[in-house]
Structure 1
Amino acid sequence: MPPDDLSLGQCPNCGEPISHAWLLVEYTKDDGTDGVWAECPSCEDVVEPE
């Protein structure tokens, strides 16, 4: 399991960094790439980190 401080990217709404601790779902997209959904610790929205 990755460390909780590993970055998933930034929130597309507020720009806050999102760490692995906030990960909700990992999945494979139709094009074969990996995707994630996470909760933003700042704005509390469920987002796809950028």
Structure 2
Amino acid sequence: MPDDTQSLGRCPNCDERITTPWLLVEYEKDDGTEGIWAECPMCEDVVAPE
């Protein structure tokens, strides 16, 4: 079972902590690293957590 408290990073717009339930998309970047898009629970924007 996933840990719902695992942090994905912070919203680049409002600095809110984003956790795994807010994850929308995981993908592989051209350089082979993993990228993610998530919804910020505070500002409700779709962002790449930092």
Q: Normalising by structure 2, what TM-score?
A: 0.95
Q: Measure the CA separation in 2 of the matches of 1:28 and 1:3.
A: 22
In angstroms, what is the RMSD of aligned CA positions?
Answer: 0.9
1:36 equivalent in structure 2: 36
Structure 2: state its 5+ residue gaps. none
Among the aligned pairs, what percent are the same residue? 72
Give the ranges of 4+ consecutive aligned residues of structure 1 lying more than 2 Å apart after TM superposition.
none
Structure 1: state its 5+ residue gaps. none
Q: Deviations over 1:16-45 (max 9, x none)?
A: 000001000000000000010000000000
Matched pairs, number: 50
Aligned residue for 1:30, secondary structure, equals: coil
Q: Normalising by structure 1, what TM-score?
A: 0.95
Q: Measure the CA separation in 2 of the matches of 1:2 and 1:49.
A: 19
In the alignment, is residue 16 of structure 1 matched against residue 16 of structure 2?
yes
